[in-house]
Structure 1
Amino acid sequence: MRPLLTVSVVVLAAALALPATAQPIGGEQPLLRELAAQVSPERERATDARLVGFGTRHTLSDTASSTRGIGAARRWVAAEFAAISKDCGGCLAVETPSQVFTGARIPKPTEVMDVLAIQRGTTDPDRVIVISGHIDSRVSDPLNATSDAPGANDDGSGTTAVIEAARVLSKHRFPATLVFAVLSGEEQGLNGGHVLAEYAAAHGWQVEADLNNDIVGNTEGMSGVRDNSHVRVFSEGTRTTETQGEADKRRYNGGEVDSPSRNLARFMDRLADQYLTNLDVVMVYRTDRYGRGGDQVEMLKAGYPAVRVTEAVENYTRQHQDLRVENGVRYGDVIEGVDFPYLAQVTRLNVLTMAALAMAPVPPRGVAIEGAVTPDTTLKWAPSPGAAAYRVWWRPTTEAQWRYSRLAGPATSLTLKGVNIDDFFFGVSAISAEGFESPVVFPGPPGTFERAPPQKP
């Protein structure tokens, strides 16, 4: 008589053999390759050089000058967006929402202004995909608003990526709305991210993703070793807006690593594998770098899925530093520290992600799962606008990426025979008639892409 363990292994192997192996999101899409090819490192170098040319872009710097300070820099970005809009027949609406802040790093009331270029969707305009970067810069003293602070990488690189993404994507039309957001006040307390989040809520945006690009152009680490083939994508594990009741249930049934932001990171990882050469996404299971933060945090607080995109290796002699040379080391965030072919690759990742999300249907809503005390697992979901079919995904609970999948066709439920709910994590994606596929949605509140009301402090 065979041991029970052997029988279980055979049954499990048979269950895993039923579906095909993991499949790329949506299959090959020529549009995505076309868009990626249009990103220009030469244009990005020129854009970043123009930003550096404003001397300092500190949030508290001059706003009246036409050549120096954050006011001149913001007006230049708005003009760039306007020029891009002219080239696309007025497809971009340029908005400049602002709020007045005071705080530890803003000693007197100061207006913090964002510059947004909004490309309204053709059929699903309330669904919004955002790319963001912050324009403000600083030196060693966070209150020093007068010394030169080139901010070529932090975050001239992110702002440059936003502007280049607008230039490339504005040449095409998408069902969902694209927002190109250049934020201020990040170094003074994530103020620009707060302005963006409140603007999104006030305008009823259904933000599906915020791709926050902050420090995305350097490839030389502190050791001198270069890494131009990886980019980190940080994502929260559990939703910032999770309620106590949701947390209790999630701790018992799982979902700690399946927030919408985390599944957005997985989506980006697969796109990079499929469409980019020599750029691999490193998913980091944190909201941000240890003890540090970025504007995506404010979007998460508002209940929107968001990730932080950051270079693979950082060089801290080039971040938040006075311009100087000490012991043969050149300190300061100067343009020589930006690798523009690498920045172009990171920009391509953003462009691919925004286009793929905007072309895909809304991620499935109302995803529910059943399977207790049965050998089978059943998933159900609500119809997703724009979906022609759905795919059910699953993976072992200790694996980072979705491994197995089965097409459900146009049905809104699927039973996986012989796949035990206890041994895997599950999710559902929606597929358009053209083959564009949404991110995977984990069942229940832990995984939903729908906005949850912010928790009261």
Structure 2
Amino acid sequence: MRKQVLMVALTLAGAAVSAAPAAPPPAPAAPPTIATQPLLKSVAADVSEAELRKSLTALVGFGTRHSLSDTASPTRGIGAARRWTAGRFADFSKACGGCLSVATPAETFTGKRIPTSVEIVDVLAVQRGTGDPNRVIIMSGHIDSRVSDPINATSDAPGANDDGSGTAAVIEAARVLSRHKFDATIVYAVLSGEEQGLLGGKLLAKYARAQGWKVEAVLNNDIIGNSTGSSGVKDATHVRVFSEGTKAVETPEQANARRYNGGEVDSPARNLARFIDGLAERYLAPFDVTMVYRTDRYARGGDQVPMLEAGYPAVRLTEMQEHYDRQHQDLRTENGRVYGDVLSGVDFTYLANVTRLNVVAIAALASAPPPPDTVTIEGSVSPDTKVSWSAVPGAASYDVWWRATDAAQWPHKRSVGDGSTSVTLPGVTIDTWFFGVSSVSAAGFASPIEFPGPAGAFFTPTKTDKP
């Protein structure tokens, strides 16, 4: 009897062993180590609080920068502010031997917040890339300001934080980065007309198409200088990065494929946000990114939206704690409560850290090769997954990444450095994981990760990309 019981137990144990699924490939104990770059440490260190304060004080000093305000006065209004900005860019260009060219694209608009037609003018400083000049990285902020009434163009509207902070950051980035050379072109964009309907962003998107720019990334900075919110909560160590989940230019056919195979959280904008988050952790800790899976704040918008609608990967950077008494408000005090977007509401240490994040991200993007034009995956009814991609000029190697479908970041990586443009991942089933590929330069600068197919493609042509 004892022998029979033993035999039954052994039989059941054998059946259990044979029915057990194969163990998944071992996961790394920690995310792959990525070497830091001296250049990125250097440009972060060069950002100056004093320079940011100098720029922001000058911007506030124009009284109002409303898009419908005076354009002729040398000291007050949007015209004086734009000319001052162009002059700052010209000064930086002189210091770097003419490395910046200043452009002022303009267009006349009418609309709900423009009772009579007005010329909207953007001020751009273009730092042409040395190796791949048609590939473009853009940093933007809007120079225009407003008070409670969106068409009040005469009252004082200091706009210190909204969006003098973003404009000052763009100017400081131009000062710091113009001292270096980069493979890709960098555009420092100071936009007008945001408060009148995102007009500066629309003008920039149109100008980018007309120039034939291959826009890899847009970092739009809007309200980045305050660390204490309306609730009284202070957070000086985080900045929000907003990114769209699915492309604004997605076709119905692409949407059907994406709904079936995944990609809802892997647009190029979303993977650009992940890229920025990783840089913050490596170069700016304890300052960090909070990724927000939205195009913008709830029921609100910014100049990144027209860029997304043109098919360009774009994110919005905004402070963690907004103070609504300082946004779109007449300058006043009511029942002891102070309203208005004034200079005293800006935390310059915080603003400097957000500026550093931009500078590091732009330098990293402009130093790396672009992401592959095409990434594909194969492996249906197979225990293995094959990942393929197009060759990228300037890439010395590639990193193939994978993550669980519900993971926020990419923890698994395999490097391919033998000139191949495909790799098979044994035991990594296509059904369970999401995949992506980044290009890596000989110096170790890596592009953002690109998700397979149209859902994740950074440079897929669309009708709206054409002039």
| Same fold? TM cut 0.5 | yes
CA 1:228–1:66: 2 relative to 1, 3 Å: same
Deviation for aligned residue 1:277: 2.6
CA 1:137–1:5: 2 relative to 1, 3 Å: farther
**Equivalent residue, structure 2, for 1:83:** 91
Deviation for aligned residue 1:382: 0.7
**Equivalent residue, structure 1, for 2:423:** 414
- Partners of 2:245 and 2:376 lie apart in 1 by 19
**What aligned pairs does 1:50-61 form with structure 2 within 5 A after superposition?**
50-61=58-69
Number of aligned positions between the proteins: 451
Read off the aligned partner of 2:153 and give its amino acid letter: A
Q: 1:444 aligns with which of 449, 453, 466?
A: 453
Q: TM-score, normalised by structure 2?
A: 0.95
- SS of the residue aligned with 1:421? coil
- Partners of 1:190 and 1:63 lie apart in 2 by 19
Is the 2:454–2:460 Cα contact (8 Å) retained in structure 1?
Answer: no
Bigger Rg, structure 1 or 2? 2
Deviation for aligned residue 1:451: 4.3
- SS of the residue aligned with 1:79? helix
Read off the aligned partner of 2:451 and give its amino acid letter: F
1:198-223 C-alpha deviation (Å, 9 max, x unpaired): 00000000000000000000001112
Q: 2:51 aligns with which of 43, 53, 78?
A: 43
**What aligned pairs does 1:355-374 form with structure 2 within 5 A after superposition?**
355-374=363-382
1:334 partnered with 2:342: yes
Read off the aligned partner of 1:118 and give its amino acid letter: V
Is the 2:372–2:390 Cα contact (8 Å) retained in structure 1?
Answer: yes
Q: TM-score, normalised by structure 1?
A: 0.97
Deviation for aligned residue 1:7: 2.9
Q: 1:180 aligns with which of 176, 182, 188?
A: 188
**Equivalent residue, structure 1, for 2:10:** none
**Equivalent residue, structure 2, for 1:245:** 253
Is the 1:133–1:162 Cα contact (8 Å) retained in structure 2?
Answer: yes
1:126-175 C-alpha deviation (Å, 9 max, x unpaired): 00000000000000000100000000000000000000000000000001
**Equivalent residue, structure 1, for 2:134:** 126
Read off the aligned partner of 2:452 and give its amino acid letter: P
Is the 2:375–2:451 Cα contact (8 Å) retained in structure 1?
Answer: yes
Deviation for aligned residue 1:16: 3.0
Read off the aligned partner of 1:11 and give its amino acid letter: A
Q: 1:168 aligns with which of 148, 151, 176?
A: 176
- Partners of 1:451 and 1:156 lie apart in 2 by 34
1:11 partnered with 2:23: yes
Deviation for aligned residue 1:6: 8.2
Q: 1:435 aligns with which of 415, 420, 444?
A: 444
1:355-405 C-alpha deviation (Å, 9 max, x unpaired): 000000111121000011000011101101110000110110001111111
Is the 1:16–1:419 Cα contact (8 Å) retained in structure 2?
Answer: no
- Partners of 2:41 and 2:144 lie apart in 1 by 32
Q: 2:40 aligns with which of 21, 25, 32?
A: 32
CA 1:84–1:6: 2 relative to 1, 3 Å: farther
Q: 1:306 aligns with which of 304, 309, 314?
A: 314
**What aligned pairs does 1:230-269 form with structure 2 within 5 A after superposition?**
230-269=238-277
- Partners of 1:237 and 1:334 lie apart in 2 by 34
Q: 1:276 aligns with which of 261, 284, 287?
A: 284
- Partners of 2:112 and 2:273 lie apart in 1 by 33
- Partners of 1:213 and 1:327 lie apart in 2 by 33
Read off the aligned partner of 1:449 and give its amino acid letter: F
- Partners of 2:464 and 2:440 lie apart in 1 by 32
- SS of the residue aligned with 1:427? strand
1:352 partnered with 2:360: yes
Read off the aligned partner of 1:238 and give its amino acid letter: T
Is the 2:240–2:317 Cα contact (8 Å) retained in structure 1?
Answer: yes
1:43-71 C-alpha deviation (Å, 9 max, x unpaired): 10110010000000000000000000000
CA RMSD of aligned residues (A): 1.4
- SS of the residue aligned with 1:11? coil
**Equivalent residue, structure 1, for 2:390:** 382
Read off the aligned partner of 2:193 and give its amino acid letter: G
- Partners of 1:296 and 1:16 lie apart in 2 by 40
- Partners of 1:295 and 1:5 lie apart in 2 by 59
- Partners of 1:134 and 1:346 lie apart in 2 by 16
Is the 1:128–1:177 Cα contact (8 Å) retained in structure 2?
Answer: yes
CA 1:270–1:36: 2 relative to 1, 3 Å: same
Is the 1:24–1:270 Cα contact (8 Å) retained in structure 2?
Answer: no
**What aligned pairs does 1:91-240 form with structure 2 within 5 A after superposition?**
91-240=99-248
- Partners of 1:170 and 1:104 lie apart in 2 by 39
Mark the runs of 5 or more structure 1 residues left unpaired by the alignment: none
- Partners of 1:378 and 1:244 lie apart in 2 by 27
Q: 1:322 aligns with which of 317, 330, 342?
A: 330
**Equivalent residue, structure 1, for 2:4:** none
- Partners of 1:158 and 1:243 lie apart in 2 by 33
- Partners of 2:440 and 2:19 lie apart in 1 by 38
Deviation for aligned residue 1:453: 1.6
Is the 2:373–2:460 Cα contact (8 Å) retained in structure 1?
Answer: no
Percent of aligned pairs with the same amino acid: 65
Q: Name the stretch that deviates more: 162-171 or 220-229.
A: 220-229
